[in-house]
Amino acid sequence: MLRAARGIYCYPKIEKVYGLGPVPPSLEDIAGAMAKRDGAKIAPTGLYAQYQLGLTQQIPMNVVYLTNGVSRTINIGEGKSIKFKHSSPRYFAIRSQLALLLTTALKDWKVENLTEEQISIIKTKLNENPRLQVADLKLMTSKVRELIISLYE
């Protein structure tokens, strides 16, 4: 058993190819396990959501998740932390994982600041998935919804 953080323990994965031994869990694995334990829904936000979409290559040290559960911060060590922020149920009514990621990743950005490369990445992601449901589009913030609709045309 490996102690990931205070009160959080996990079974380590053993890396056998390069002989590195036990590999600690990722921040995403820890956040997912905490959400499953608490019966809460989570959604990455900010820089981490942008990283998951491929809009940036930066991996944040401190990951922020929106949750319908309790707000809390978990210090993992080595300067890393996971922060859960209680959020409006509106975000968790979005069914499509892509729509939720786009909403949380782009809500603080100005659409004018998106580069051509980032817009093409978003177009590729949208083309990989069928059209987002109208109900999901209605729940998105207005500027993100307008961007998505313009990219579908």
Nearest Cα residue to 106 out of 56, 71, 36, 41: 56
Give the tens place of pLDDT for each residue, 75-107. 887 888 999 999 988 888 888 888 888 888 888
pLDDT tens readout for residues 104-134: 888 877 777 888 999 899 888 888 876 677 7
Measured CA to CA, the distance from residue 9 to residue 61 in angstroms comes to: 20
Confidence of residue 40 (pLDDT cuts 50, 70, 90): very high
Angstrom distance (rounded) from CA 54 to CA 123:
12
Domain regions of the chain by residue span: 2-152
Q: What's the CA gap between 132 and 135, in Å, rounded?
A: 8
Q: What DSSP character marks residue 93?
A: T
Predicted local confidence at residue 51, as pLDDT: 92
* Residue 103, φ and ψ in degrees, nearest 5: -65, -45
